[in-house]
Amino acid sequence: MASEKEATLLVVPSDAPSIFDKIIKKEIPADIVHEDDKARNGLTRLSKAEEKHRDILGQLLYTIKLVAKQEGLLENGFRLVINDGRRSIKDNVI
């Protein structure tokens, strides 16, 4: 029998707003360290990236570097984690 959390995940459509969409819309409070007006051009998951998303993906990685510098993380290094879908947190690590 599936847990309540697993059952919820099964009924939530994949195009439903993510926690990040809710943060962007200010529906969930967060300490924002960087914000810009770059449109994601329909990109909702890395696994759904297309040729047209190359610019935004490059911009995101460069922005990560800028934020890491701003937060004082460049000297000792930092870890970047990208989840792609509900099972990505503990399964299928690349």
Q: Check pLDDT > 50 for residue 1.
A: no
Q: Which residue has the higher pLDDT, 16 or 59?
A: 59
Model's pTM, two decimal places?
0.68
pLDDT, tens digit (0-9, with 9 covering 90-100), for 35-65:
888 888 888 889 999 999 999 999 999 999 9
What are the two backbone dihedrals, phi and then psi, of residue 34, each rounded to the nearest 5 degrees? -160, 140
The 3 state secondary structure assigned to the chain is CCCHHHHHHHHCCCCCCCHHHHHHCCCCCCCCCCCCCCCCCCCCCHHHCCHHHHHHHHHHHHHHHHHHHHCCCCCCCCCCCCCCCCCCCCCCCC
- pLDDT given for residue 69 in this prediction: 96
- Percent of the chain scoring above 70 in pLDDT: 76
Stretch 72-85: mean pLDDT? 90
Q: Check pLDDT > 70 for residue 93.
A: no
